[in-house]
Amino acid sequence: MTDNLQSIFNELKTQYGEYGDNLPPVEKWHPTNCGDIGLLIKKDGTWWQNGQKFSREKLVKLFSKILRKEEDGKTYLVTPHEKVIIEIEDAHFTIIRADLIDDGIQKIIFTTNVGENFIVDENHKIWVETNQETNEPRPYVMVRNNLFALINRSIYYQLVDWGLFVGDEFGVFSNDVFFKLGNIGDDE
C-alpha cells in the first residue's frame, strides 16, 4: 500500500472506526485533487492498485464508503484533506444477494459485494442495458449518490423468477414501484 493510501486509511479508521459502518459526509468535503495513485475497480468488483489486487477486505469496505462520483463523470476517493481518482471498469459495486420480503408490500433487499444493504425503491432504481456485442442484458441498480452496482447474473435470474408481466412489460415490484426487466418480444 502506498503512503498516500495508508494515510487515507488511517484517517478514516480514526474518524469512522475500523469497519466504517457509518457513511461519512463525502458530499461536504471539497479537498484539492491529489491525482492518480493507480486505483481501479474491475468489472468483477475487485479493487486494485497499480496492478496489485487488494487483499484486505476491511480496506475495500472502508474505502467503498468514501467514493464520490462527480459532475465530470469521474469517481474519486474523498476525505476532508485528500481526493484521488479511481477508475471504474463497469460499476462501483456488484450485487451479490437479493432477498424478497413481504410485510404487506413486497420489497427486494439487495446486498453489495462490500456488505451494504438497501431496499430497491424510487431512490434505488433498477435498469437494464444491453451489451452491444453479445446482446446480453446488463442489469444495474442505483446504490447511493450516483454510485451504482452491476446485478450479477444469478441475482438477475432471481429477479426474473420473481417477475411478472404488466401489459407488455416484464419486471419486478419492490416497495410499490415497478422495475422493467424487458418487453414481450425483447431478446433481453
Domain ranges of the chain: 3-88, 93-183
Looking at residue 91, what is its pLDDT? 97
Looking at residue 1, what is its pLDDT? 47
Looking at residue 20, what is its pLDDT? 43
Q: How far is CA 14 from CA 3, 20, 62, in A?
A: 16, 10, 12
Average pLDDT, the chain: 87
Looking at residue 32, what is its pLDDT? 86
Interval 24-32 mean pLDDT: 89
pLDDT per position as a tens digit, 142-178: 999 999 999 999 999 999 999 999 998 999 999 999 9
Banded model confidence at residue 19, pLDDT cuts 50, 70, 90: very low
CATH class of segment(s) 93-183: mainly beta
Looking at residue 10, what is its pLDDT? 57
Pairing between β-strand 137-144 and β-strand 126-130 as defined by DSSP bridges: antiparallel
Q: How far is CA 183 from CA 28, 103, 140, in A?
A: 41, 28, 17
Order across the sheet with 137-144: list the strands: 117-119, 106-112, 93-102, 147-151, 137-144, 126-130
What's the rounded Cα separation, in Å, for the pair 173 and 168?
15
- Per CATH, the number for 3-88 is 3.10.540.10
Question: What is the residue type of 167?
Answer: G
